[in-house]
Every structure is written in C-alpha cells, then in structure tokens.
Structure 1
Amino acid sequence: MPERIRRLRMTAGSTACAAILCLMGAAVPARAVTASTPGDAASSRAKATAAVDAMMGFYDRNTGRWDPESPWWQSGNALQALLDYMAKTGSRTYMPEVRNTIALQRRPLDWWPQGGGEFRADSTDDTGWWALAMVRMYDLTHDKQYLDIARTDEAYMRQNGDDTCGGGIWWDLPGKTYKNAISNELYFKLVASLHNRIPRDTVYLDRARQSWKWFGNSGMINDDHLVNDGLNTQSGGCANNGGTTWTYNQGVVLGGLAELYRGTHDRQLLTEGRKITDAVIASPALSPNGILTETCEPAGGCNADQSSFKGVFARNLAELDALLPGRPYRAYLDAQARSAYAHDRNSADQYGLSWAGPFDSAAIGRQESAVSLLTAVL
C-alpha cells in the first residue's frame, strides 16, 4: 500500500461545530504580517493560547470530539495537543472539556463494539494516539485510572502482533494485512512511556527494547535515515514498501527514542534520533527552504489526516531535543513557529496547511498541528 488511506469515522446525528463556528479560508482573509521575531509583542505563550482557543472552536460537547466529521483519531491527537499545552503552561481552562471527551470516547465504538471501549479500535494506530493522550492525562492528574486505560490499550495493541516479518503489530483489524510504521512507533513510544511511569517496572522496559530492536531492524528506516510508511506485507513480503516518508512517521519514533533513553540512559538511542532528525532537515522534500513540509503539499493533495502530521513531528522532536546538550533543534522548531505565525494564520488565529504560507483554509487537522508546533517551542 504505497499511500496510507484512512477510513473516515462519522458520528450520526452529531452537530459539528466546525460547520458553524470554524471559519474557512474564503470567509476570513489572511492577516498581513511580517516575519515574527523574538521581540514581538505577542509572547510565545499568547500565540499558543490563541491557537488553542481557536482549536476549541471545533469542539463538539455532545460527542466530545473536535469536528465529529473528521477522522476519529484526530480527536485523540487534538486531546494530546491540548494536554501538552496544559502541561507546559499550567492552564486548566479546558479541563472540563478534556474530562467530557474521555468519558464519552472511552465507550465502545459504534463501528467496533467488539473492541469493548477504552479506545480499542479496528486500527491499532487509532488506539495508540488515545493511549498516549491517557499517559499525558496521568502526568497532569496523577490519577491512576488514566494509566490503567493506557495499559489496557497496550495489551490490546500487543495482542494484535505476531511473528510475521519477525515481529511487530498489525495496523488493520480484523484483516491483519499491513504492518506499518505508525502503529509500531506508537506502540514503542507507549511501552517506553509506561515503563517510565511505573516504579520498579521491568516488563514494559523489556517490551520497549524488543519493539525498538524489531523496528530498527525491520527495514522501514531506509538508507537515507528516513522512515517509509511500512512493509509490503499486503503483497506477502516483508521488505520496505517504499511508501511516502510522512513527517509523523519521522516524528513518533523520536518521541519513543526519547522515552526509552529516559529509562535506560543509552546514548545510542539519542544518536539514532539525531540521524532521523538530520535527515528530515536535510531533505529538500521535507524541509524546502528550511520549513517542514508534507510531501503532498506542493500538489495540493493532502487529505484530512495528512494535514495534521507535521504537528506530531514537532511535538516529538521537542521531546528529543530537550534531552540533547545545547538543544540543537530548538532553532529549527523556532523557525517553523515563526513562519507559521507570520504566513499561515488568519485573523481568527486559525492556521492553514503550509507553514510557509499562504493560509488556505481552516480545519481541525491543520489547527491541532499548529497547536502542537506552538506548544513545542514554549
């Protein structure tokens, strides 16, 4: 499968606030601004707060989702973005919405009731996004129930793995036809995160080490140190399928390496993370003129999922960068935030697809991506 195709999940009868409250690009003219500098009157926190407030314009209290007509996993990613912002700033303004989302979305899914709820879905990566958000909710509240949900999700993801291609978990259920990067990266980050939050744990640490060993040897990291979309298991093989090097596949693995480093202090993990990051920055396709770009952007072909990928990269790169002497990638992240704020924002503090600009239109994927970027530089 050369391109990752996501099934859109819709909630029947829900009222999508995005249709009413969230303005599209044609309705709100892009603000003319010059490139921002460290001396701008608007602080980094003010910029992030404005982006979060704009993101909450997509929120539908009845369903607990951000734009219920968008893919379900994006609400999990928006929740993560919001919780990351709370962790960085100490704000609890939207905690009622956070609790509402968790209460409603942890119920059995309409399209996958056999999962039994707790974010267990028919795509293992969908489960992984929500599970990592539960880890962050535990960080904020120290309430063990959220860590327990994440552990339930880990078990569910793990049970959908086997020895095909030497290990790894399947992306699609029940068919189990595709072993891809994102499901396995999310699992790797999840087990490493659980280890770091459970005193005297050895089980999750072993699983994290095994997961990274398998992923690192799977062939999904190509000779250019970039992560392709997956393996050609749908054709009966186990080779790198040469699929698109989506930015989020470059990102989540960085967060996993950072978490595993915290648990092991193995500096080789940081070295591996730097190889991937340096490859992204050096790539004329992924960082043209120094601005992170999804490969689908130039042709205008990005779908709802792909519009949110770059924020995932920024979030995870910031986690890795925080562990490195001298914060070598802070300047790169700052450059992304300055460009997006200056060139990819409208008068409602909504962000478009291309961080190089110009602003095109507003949607939850674009906005949650910007929130993660602006939070990454706090």
Structure 2
Amino acid sequence: MPGRIWTLVGVTACGVVVSLLATAVPSQAAPSPSAPATARIRATAAVDAMMGFYDAETGRWQPESPWWQSGNALQALLDYMAKTGSRRYMPQVKNTIAIQRAPLEWWPEGGGEFRADSTDDTGWWALAMTRVYDLTRDKRYLDIAELDEAYMRDYWDDTCGGGIWWDIPAKSYKNAISIELYIKLAASLHNRIPGDKVYLAHALEAWRWFKGSGMINGDHLVNDGLNTQGGGCANNGGTTWTYNQGVILGGLTELYKATGDKSLLADARDIADAVIASPSLTQHGILTEPCEPTGTCNADQAAFKGIFARDLGELDSVLTGHPYRNYLRTQASYAYANARNSAHQYGLSWSGPFDQASIGSQSSAVSLLTAVL
C-alpha cells in the first residue's frame, strides 16, 4: 500500500498552519531521515559519480552540455566540500577555474573571467567564485566575482523601471533568473567584504525592483520573465521553473544575513510554501519540474530541481525550527530509492524510475543530497 506524506500547505511566515495536504507516495521508499553518516555516504557517492562526467582537458563536466551547467556543477561540488570538509577534488576545481576563466572562444567580447553573452551564465560562475573564496580565503576568487557583478550591473537600465537584461547584445528579455542571481551575488559579496555599502545597495535595489516587477504572481510563484518587447513589461505568464523559485530564496537569505530584516524571510517563505503547496511543482510529495509529466525536459531543465533544493536548504538554515528540513529529507530519500542506478548516477525524476543520467540530473542530485547534510 502507498504511504502518505503530510505536507504543510498554508504555513505563513509567522508559522501558523492553515491546512494540511496528504499525498500518496510509493511504498518502496518510506521517507525516514537518514543518519548523518548515511547521508554523507550517499552524497559522497553522488559526487564521485558526478566526477565521472568531468573532462580535465576542458575543465568542464560533460563538455557537450550547456556551459553554465559546468558552473553549476562546480557550485554543487564546492557546496559539498564546504559541508563535509573534503578537499579531495580541489585540483579539479582549480583546473576548471584556470581553463574556464580565459576569454571564451564563442564570446570574446566578455574578456574572460566568466563574462558571457547572457547575464545568467555569468551569475552561476560568479556565485561559485564566492564559494571558492569561502573555502580558500584566496581573494583572487572574490576579485573575479566582483568583476562579474560589475559586468552584470552594466546591463541594468531603466527599461521596465530597472532590472538586468538577460541576453547580450540583443537586450530583448528581462527575466527572473538573471535578476535573482544578481541579487544573490551582490548580497554575497557584501557579506564577504568588510565595510561594504555598495554591493548591499545594489542587492537591495535589485530586490525592490524584482518584488515590484510583477514576476512574482498572485500564487507567490515566480514566472519566467516580462514581456519586454511591446508587452508593457507585464508578467509573461512563463513557466514557473523550480530554479526560478529557488535562487531568490538564496538571495533573500543572503540579504537577511546582511540586514537582519525578517520581512525578507517572510517573502522567501511565501515562495517556498507556494512550491510545496503547488500541485504542479510538488506532485505526491515530490518536487517535480513542470516539463516532467510531458517528457519534454531539456538538458538545462534537468538541473533545475537541485538548484531549488540548494537554495531552500540555505533558507532553512537560518529559520527557527528548520521547517523545510523534512521536505528536503523526503526528496533525498525518494531520489536515492527511486532515481538512482547501481553506479550512483541519478535520473531526471526523483520519484523514479531511473532513466538516464546527465550532468544536469547528476549535479541536481548532488545539490539535493548536500542540502540534507
């Protein structure tokens, strides 16, 4: 018989339970929290499998995959290293940075240091640089992140009242992911640079714009972007991808650390709770990408759920009582039981069955399993 997961549906930022939703889950993977040692073993096995996709010559994971995914895989690896203290793969980290920071053959105008033809691509790599700095205290990595913040900031203008263009040089689309990454990056820099005021001001300005932009819909979910081409800068009703829900949680967490403003946590919890309550994003208790039911997920979308898990874990770490810990543990238990093959590779759907692994799906699993450590 299937088990049941009781999911809090209407938890307010003040912790008031409005209602409970019971959803059936497969019986073969009863969600019990793993002991710390078991959780680390599972995360380590997933990391080792992820490194099977690593190509030392290019410094990328699965080089044929989109470039930003190597930046995201680097972040996943660094998060694991930060949580566990392991430095086993630090040579690969340094190799990747040394190769990939060079001017890009396909976008030489950026001048290197991860400055690319889309601001979100730059943002992924820049955030990874802040994590390398955390591990090494080598200011060279923070310097790169500062260059990347300035590069992204160069594409802020008054169209739609503010915000960062996603695509360079076309400047045809202002979307959620670029501004979310920028908020998190600017706030992260502030939290690592004593006496900073500039990056904090940038992060707060970006958050105020994003909150008022209309991209956060009436259900507290983030649509993909704005109709910037003759659409009056209205919410375009685009897909509520899980990573768009996630990155802003991490950004608001960094801003909370910078300011102590608890209203930022309330805003973050509205979004997190909406994901858990959404029948399209949490199906039968398991986080689900909107493209999964139709079998139309592409290489990019395979990575999205892990990004949400990473950022939800960051939010949960600063909240009293850690209200999202059980949700994350449930995801990790089901992914391990249902989405994994004997080589500890993970497929797209965390509720299973395993289909095939890519750097997107594998880095996603690494971020999930790291979030519960």
- TM-score relative to the length of structure 2: 0.91
Matches within 5 A, 1:227-306: 227-306=222-301
Letter aligned with residue 223 of structure 2: N
Shift of 1:34: 4.5
Residue 79 of structure 1, aligned match among 51, 65, 74 = 74
Match of 1:152 in 2: 147
Cα gap change, 1:224 to 1:116, in 2 (>3 Å): same
User: For 1:49 and 1:63, how far apart are their aligned partners in 2?
Assistant: 24
Q: Does 1:177 align with 2:179?
A: no
| Alignment size in residue pairs | 347
Unaligned runs of 5+ in 1: 1-32
Moved more, 190-199 or 235-244: 235-244
Q: Does 1:215 align with 2:242?
A: no
User: For 2:278 and 2:102, how far apart are their aligned partners in 1?
Assistant: 42
Q: Does 1:352 align with 2:347?
A: yes
Cα gap change, 1:324 to 1:42, in 2 (>3 Å): closer
- TM-score relative to the length of structure 1: 0.90
Shift of 1:207: 0.7
Shift of 1:38: 3.8
- String of CA shifts for 1:190-242, please: whole Å, max 9, x gaps: 00000000001111111111010000000000000000000001334200000
Give yes or no for contact 2:33–2:333 (8 Å, CA) kept in 1: no
Letter aligned with residue 265 of structure 1: G
Match of 1:138 in 2: 133
Aligned partner of residue 233 in structure 1, secondary structure: coil
Cα gap change, 1:208 to 1:148, in 2 (>3 Å): same
Give yes or no for contact 2:126–2:185 (8 Å, CA) kept in 1: yes
Q: Does 1:97 align with 2:92?
A: yes
The percentage of aligned residue pairs carrying the same residue is: 74
Q: Does 1:341 align with 2:336?
A: yes
Shift of 1:36: 5.9
Match of 1:370 in 2: 365
Give yes or no for contact 1:36–1:341 (8 Å, CA) kept in 2: no
Aligned partner of residue 175 in structure 1, secondary structure: coil
Shift of 1:290: 1.0
Q: Does 1:225 align with 2:225?
A: no
Letter aligned with residue 294 of structure 1: E
Letter aligned with residue 263 of structure 1: A
Report which of the two has the higher share of strand.
Answer: 2
Give yes or no for contact 2:103–2:111 (8 Å, CA) kept in 1: yes
Residue 63 of structure 1, aligned match among 58, 61, 64 = 58
Q: RMSD of the TM alignment (CA)?
A: 1.3
User: For 2:122 and 2:145, how far apart are their aligned partners in 1?
Assistant: 9
Letter aligned with residue 75 of structure 1: S
Shift of 1:52: 0.2
Residue 51 of structure 1, aligned match among 41, 46, 57 = 46
